[in-house]
Homo-oligomer: A and B are copies of this chain.
Amino acid sequence: MRKERLEAFSDGVLAIIITIMVLEIKVPQGYNLSDLKPVAPVFLSYVLSFIYLGIYWNNHHHMMHTVKHVTGNILWANLHLLFWLSLIPFVTGWMGENQFKPVPVSLYGVILLMAAIAYYVLQTVIIKTHGSDSILARAIGKDLKGKISPILYLIAICSSWINDWIAGSIYILVALIWLVPDRRIEIIFHKEES
């Protein structure tokens, strides 16, 4: 039962983060099409963050599926992940309202990097609790995606000072890499059952 409450709480927080982000898209003053122009970059960064949060919800969902017993460490590692994700609306708003200027763009990358690390920590804690022979441990395997993403974020953070477009393109690239749902866990699950 405890696991269900952890899932429900995480779902609640993720649902709220994904939805209050829309409050950062401020209603413009005028009523012409041209008044929507300053809203465009905020909208674009909203789309990007929406996809990222969707990916996190999806993968979190899969990962939690493998959890059998929730310990205090899992609980806090999960809250730690939610903490970094909760900052996404802030950096999304800052990046969008400043038309993708270097500092906001790299801070956006920093938050994504911290969230990726927090996700990795949570994953490690779950594997430690359930043993290296657990479903999650075998499903993740070499965890290529999980290792490449932080490196790509780091490149994005640094590159934002050189060129405006590299960082943004990398964020989109990482999203695309992850958009494919984590089928690895599903596959192992099906093998288990058969």
Contacts and interface: CB of A to CB of B under 8 A. Distances in A.
Interface stretch (A83-91, A129-137, A148-156): A83-91
A168 interface: no
A32 B2 contact: no
Interface residues of A, number: 57
A9 B18 CA distance: 11
A167 B61 CA distance: 40
B61 A181 contact: no
Interface of A: 2, 5, 7-9, 11-20, 22-25, 27-28, 30-33, 35-36, 47, 50, 54, 57-58, 61, 65, 72, 75-76, 79, 82-83, 86-87, 89-90, 93-94, 97-98, 101-104, 107, 179-181, 183
Closest 4 CB pairs of A and B: A12-B15, A31-B98, A31-B101, A72-B181
